[in-house]
Structure 1
Amino acid sequence: MEYSSGDSKFDARTAEEIALDEWLPVTSSRKAKWYYSTFHNVTAMVGAGVLSLPYALSELGWGFGITVLSLSWAITLYTLWQMVEMHEMIPGKRFDRYHELGKYAFGEKLGLFVVVPQLLTVQVGTCIVYMVTGGKSLQKFQQTVCPDCKPLRTTYFILIFSSVHFVLAHLPNFNSITIVSLAAAVMSLSYSVIAWAASLNRGTDGIVDYSLRSKTAIGEMFGMFTAFGDIAFAYAGHSVVLEIQATIPSTPGKPSKGPMWLGCVVAYIIVALCYFPVAIIGYYIFGNTVDDNILITLNHPNWLIAMANLFVVIHVIGGYQIFSMPVYDMLETFMVKSMKFKPSSILRFTVRTSYVAITTFIGVTFPFFGGLLGFIGGFALAPTSYYLPCVIWLILKKPSRWSLTWCLNWICIVIGILLMIVAPIGGLRTIILSAGSYKFYS
């Protein structure tokens, strides 16, 4: 764990730790403002998941679907507040990374075992999903603006999308991707507005079926599981929140949690303005015929749909960078501390280029958007966003048993565990069904 308050007077780190922190991407720059927190969190949160929310409602129905969506928003806002509060819960120390907080709560070895696999699944999995999303959105853009052009394989578009990351991956730290993240946040709001506005403009044909998508009891159950995963995936920002807060300067008189929480509140207001209109209007217009990506369902007007898909591409470029930066930090820390490599530009180039290549390969091999959302959303996002912050809070804060705080945390824990159990089942089923019908040469 690295210790730093952002002011040398309160810095308890050794010279070696300071030198390493000044090189690693998460801690090398602590000059962020509160609004950096806003658009970093919007970029991390509002991503591919928002496009699947009408589909999730089609698996759950009106009442249950909106209840789950609202409950998820409230729970994850609460757990986000917990993370912000715990960043500097020990005077003179900063938990700059999720796994550092985990080690403090569970112990050195157990903390890493509990937290790191979940983090890597979220961060690497999200990068893979964004590879698929970026490639398919590029493909949709090409098909929309040039319907008579010779169609290209989805694989080619994923490779084209990945080429951008082979360049951007070498930006050194979080603050260096500020412009990319800001552009991504603006694009996420823009394509969300386009998604619900274009749906509203299209209108209904008067015959919209709002019954559950699946027509059998087994199908309804698996559909519900998948929807849970889709909604969980829509709240993915917790896995990078401590890393974002680490970029904000802090002193005992002006701790980082003040500007960080302000940025988070603004971000969550924007999240609500994106999620609820897209989910409700998209389902209202298309009913249970909506695709797992609403932009695929929308075909007119062509220029607007093309623009929306281009906005998605720009957004997931920024989203990929947000989620990959903590992975770079973890890999570079491992290479320096455990493998005894010296911090260097060659090491950084090798690590990051290899990571982009691996996520590209997996994205090309498993380009199943809907199933990936459900599987990753339930398996890893449920712990990191829904209940791990509550477990850590109970361990470190020790609220009185049966107090309001104690009960609230346990409710979140139970909901999160249920999500983690059932959502991957639905997502895995969707992946298997998609793989059975997918043509890898298409």
Structure 2
Amino acid sequence: MGEMGEPDYRQVMPLSPSPSPSPSNTKTIEGLMEVISIKDSTDPSKESTTISTNLQGHRKNLQEAWLPITESRNGNSIYAMFHLLCSGIGFQALFLPVAFATLGWAWGIICLSLAFAWQLYTIFILVQLHELVPGIRYSRYLQLAIVSFGPKLGKLLALFPVMYSSGGACVLMIINGGHTLDLLFKTICDFEATCHVQSLTGTESFLVFTCMAILVAQLPNLNSMVGVSLIGAITAIGYCTLILVLSITKSRPVDISYGQFDVVKSYMEKISDILNALGIIALAFKGHNLILEIQGTLPSNQRHTSYKPICDTLVLACCGSDWLAMDLIKEELVDRRQEENAQYRVPFSGGLLSAFSQIHGANTSKLIMGSIYLLVLVNYLCGFQVYAMPVFDNLEMRYTTKKKKPCPKWVRTCLRIFFGGVAFFVAVAVPFLGSLAPLIGGMVLPMTFAYPCFMWIAMKKPRPNGVVWSINFWLGCLGIVFSVLIVIAAAWTLADKGLNANFFRP
């Protein structure tokens, strides 16, 4: 769905490595793109070309203007920052203490910092590839993967990571949002005699959260959700700050110490625990696939591309999210109990939020705890919208490709209700999805740390064995190796220790 919006570009630049594309490559490019002439409004004698996918044979392809990611390009740096903060801060940070409990404070900081620098580098690769060919914009991660690796290989490599990063994140938000809703209810009622309302079951909590999320999801496109993203960013910063301040002001429990867990383990168990922790850290950067979509909402013309506005917000948004994540790792949440010589474990279900509730919930006022739960709940509702947008876009793309017309309002509503129903079903069927965080983090790791490096080589074609080529090639290979090792370690841990697979029992 690369599209052109600039005058005086009459030819598509070849994406093949050779000056003259081979017949197979020509067929690939033609299958991906369609060149259409559109008269410029300022000068009827001038023409511009538009590149898009699907609807082959039509003289004028407006599909990009029909899809929710690209139908509005009136965004700016401020809007983009709201989207980045909303998707970058949230449940990812709440899971980080699970990794720090294994790695310890020092190695946890080192690994998180290295992962942050690595993913920041690959982010800048993606934003540069967004408008690599003058006038052509690649506004979706899957689209860029297809152009870089070819239709078959691109879909094979990127389809699952992209779909999981979007749909899987929404399922996790339903699970964690339902649990947070239950905690909020119990905090408000506190089992008082005056509270006659019966607590919701797990399934009912998931359903209530899903209904609220789908109600908010009726906003038409990503730009129209800027207010939702703003609320999501504010609530994320709000509850992170509250947890941080309360952790500092409250004294550490006497049975929690600062130090790594030193119970004797086998060599394989230690390696497996470390790789699982690295998988959780990789999962913390799972909003990576949204960068191109967010950049796709920014305006672009021949003089001013979207590269500078998105760069103006990237460093601030990424640094802000990682700074808050680092501050949330408090010593009393990642270490061991001295008296029992047993490691204090941050639970997978709810992560830091559940751990904080267990440690400080009893001696914290109901108002403060209720405020934290409410902020977390609102943040999940807002984050759901940003992560679900690529799925909505893909569903509407299939409809518009087949019908060759934009989605009517009722069809758009039905598609989003359908997705909400599927996500709700998966959440109820697999409520232990958070326990699979290391395994899933390893599977989607290449999308963040490896694929962008190979995309740069495929599209920019730096000199083979040169400095730039070598950096990207070896970083990409290292990302693939880490992904394989983390998946193996996570699978070995599940096989060795088992999994509490409470199917359909949220």
TM-score, normalising length: structure 2? 0.80
SS in 1 for 2:450: helix
1:216 aligns with 2:265: yes
Tell me, yes or no, if the aligned pair for 2:232 and 2:379 is still in contact at 8 Å: yes
User: Are residues 1:258 and 2:325 paired?
Assistant: no
Cross-structure match for 2:250: 202
Partner of 2:346: 291
Partners of 1:204 and 1:89 in 2: CA distance: 52
Paired amino acid for 2:412: R
Task: Give the C-alpha shift of residue 151 in structure 1.
Answer: 4.2
Mark the CA change 1:55 to 1:123 in structure 2 (over 3 Å): closer, same or farther: same
Taking a change above 3 Å as real, the CA distance of residues 341 and 33 of structure 1, as seen in their structure-2 partners, is: closer
Pairwise CA distance, 1:23: 1.5
Deviations 1:246-270 (A, max 9, x none): 1100112111010011111111121
Equivalent residue for 1:365, pick from 419, 429, 436: 429
Instruction: Name whichever structure is richer in helix by fraction.
Output: 1
Aligned-residue Cα RMSD (Å) equals: 2.7
Aligned position for 2:205: 157
How far residue 408 of structure 1 moved from its aligned partner, in angstroms, is: 2.9
Greater shift, 76-85 or 112-121, is seen at 112-121
- Deviation track 1:162-181 (CA, whole Å, cap 9, x = no partner) reads 01122122211001111111
Q: Hey, what's the Cα distance between the residues in 1 that align with 2:258 and 2:331?
A: 14
Q: Secondary structure at the match of 1:30?
A: coil
Q: Deviations over 1:1-52 (max 9, x none)?
A: 2313378848522776642222110110000010111111111111211011
User: Do the aligned partners of residues 49 and 434 (structure 1) sit closer, same or farther apart at CA in structure 2, a change above 3 Å counting?
Assistant: farther
Q: Of the candidates 144, 147, 170, which is equivalent to residue 218 of structure 2? A: 170
Corresponding residue SS for 1:52:
helix
Q: Report the CA distance shift for 1:143/1:285 in structure 2 as closer, same or farther (over 3 A).
A: farther
2:237 counterpart residue number:
189
Could you tell me whether the CA contact under 8 Å between 1:24 and 1:332 is conserved in 2?
yes
- Tell me if 1:418 matches 2:481: yes
Conserved 8 A contact 2:90-2:236: yes
Structure 2, unpaired ranges of 5+: 8-38, 41-46, 52-57, 338-342
> 1:59–1:213: 8 Å Cα contact kept in structure 2?
no
Alignment of 1:5-404 (within 5 A): 5=5, 9=40, 11-13=48-50, 18-148=61-191, 150-207=198-255, 208=257, 210-212=259-261, 216-217=265-266, 218-281=268-331, 283=333, 288-292=343-347, 293-298=351-356, 299=361, 300-301=363-364, 302-338=366-402, 343-368=407-432, 370-380=434-444, 382-404=445-467
Q: Which has the larger radius of gyration?
A: 2
Q: Alignment length, in residue pairs? A: 441
CA distance in structure 1 between the aligned counterparts of 2:226 and 2:489, rounded to whole angstroms: 36
So what's the TM-score if we normalise by structure 1? 0.91
1:219, 1:20 → 2: CA distance? 52
Q: Aligned AA for 1:115?
A: A
Q: Deviation of residue 237 (structure 1)?
A: 2.0
Q: Is the 8 A contact 2:228 2:382 kept in 1?
A: yes
Q: Report the alpha carbon displacement of residue 308 of structure 1 after superposing the two structures with TM.
A: 1.6
Q: Percent identity?
A: 27
* Distance in 1, Cα, partners of 2:321 & 2:370: 23
Deviation (angstroms), 1:226:
2.6
Q: Decide whether the 8 Å contact of 2:430 with 2:502 is kept in 1.
A: no
Instruction: Give unpaired runs (5+ residues) of structure 1.
Output: none
1:12 aligned counterpart, secondary structure: strand
Q: 1:94 to 1:413 in 2, by over 3 A?
A: same
Look up the equivalent residue of 1:212 and give its one-letter code.
Answer: F
SS of aligned partner of 2:50: coil
What corresponds to 2:36 in structure 1?
none
The alpha-carbon deviation at position 364 of structure 1 amounts to 1.5
Deviates more, 1:152-161 or 1:311-320: 152-161
AA of the residue aligned to 1:297? A
